[in-house]
């Protein structure tokens, strides 16, 4: 069973870059079965799909991020990452990595526990 | 972007009662809609996919219906552990989007 674990700084200063890593266990980041996604949840709010990366390296980022997001993969470490540049207080959120393991793409049945990122000086 | 509007925002019910949650899409998403349950301090849990298919391990009291723009999640008889937040999500369009959630609370 695929398990995901987010890691990264809990505090980022405004205008700097938010960097998060998702470590995958129980499955290979090289698998052509899964899309590896990032989703965030603003405090007390709903869920926002940020983007994904496929094993081939192809990526998608939500246009709402205005090209600030980069998603990449480190096959040697079985990890994928999110970098979000020029952050503001509006980027304060709980960040999840997630994937679909059930064979139904784009329905997220495996999630990390989430990591809270606060943007503040 | 597809906007998913969930109603009601809050549903106050007692254990054993039937819960009916609605999700309306701003345009047709076919049957490509999922429902998730989220409890405090936990990640969302997939309940229903493709509008009406229960995910692995989900009890039969959860059922989904609908297509096009109007979808319903029904919990036939609420158990104490079902009081939580519920979100819908579409996968027919980019970006994938979620509804704003319905809170099912104990009356």
Q: With an 8 Å Cβ cutoff, are B55 and A113 in contact? A: no
Residue A105 is predicted with a pLDDT of 80
pLDDT for residue B5 is more than 90: yes
Give residue B104's pLDDT: 98
pLDDT tens, per residue, chain A with 121 residues: 899 999 999 999 999 999 999 999 999 998 888 899 999 999 888 999 999 999 888 999 999 999 999 999 999 999 999 999 999 999 999 999 999 987 778 899 999 999 999 999 9
Contacts B43 to A, Cβ<8 Å: 96, 98, 111-114
> Which of helix, strand or coil describes residue B81?
helix
Residue A51 contacts residue A98 (beta carbons within 8 Å): no
Give the closest residue to B19 by CA, choosing from B81, B97, B98. B81
Nearest CA-CA partner of B23 in B73, B95, B75: B73
**pLDDT tens digits along B54-97:** 999 999 999 999 999 999 999 999 999 999 999 999 999 999 99
Q: How far is A120 from chain B (nearest CA, A)?
A: 22
């Amino acid at each position: 069973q695929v398990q995901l674990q987010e890691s990264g700084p809990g505090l980022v200063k405004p205008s700097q870059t938010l960097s998060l890593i998702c470590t995958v266990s129980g499955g290979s980041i090289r698998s052509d079965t899964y899309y590896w996604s990032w989703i965030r949840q603003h405090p007390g709010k709903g869920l926002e799909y940020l983007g994904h990366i496929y094993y081939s390296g192809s990526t998608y980022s939500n246009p709402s991020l205005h090209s600030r997001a980069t998603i990449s993969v480190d096959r040697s470490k079985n990890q994928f990452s999110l970098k979000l540049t020029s952050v503001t207080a509006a980027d304060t959120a709980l960040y999840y990595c997630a994937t679909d393991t059930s064979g139904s793409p784009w329905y997220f049945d495996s999630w990390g526990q989430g990591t809270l990122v606060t943007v503040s000086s | 972007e597809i906007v998913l509007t969930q109603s009601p925002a809050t549903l106050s019910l007692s254990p054993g009662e039937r819960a009916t949650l609605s999700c309306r899409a701003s345009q047709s998403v076919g049957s490509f809609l999922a429902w998730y349950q989220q409890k405090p301090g936990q990640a969302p849990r997939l309940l229903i996919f493709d509008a009406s298919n229960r995910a692995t391990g989900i009890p039969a009291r959860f059922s989904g219906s609908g297509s096009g723009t109007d979808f319903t999640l029904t919990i036939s008889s609420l158990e104490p552990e079902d009081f939580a937040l519920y979100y819908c999500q579409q996968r027919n369009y980019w970006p994938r989007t979620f509804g704003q959630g319905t809170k099912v609370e104990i009356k």
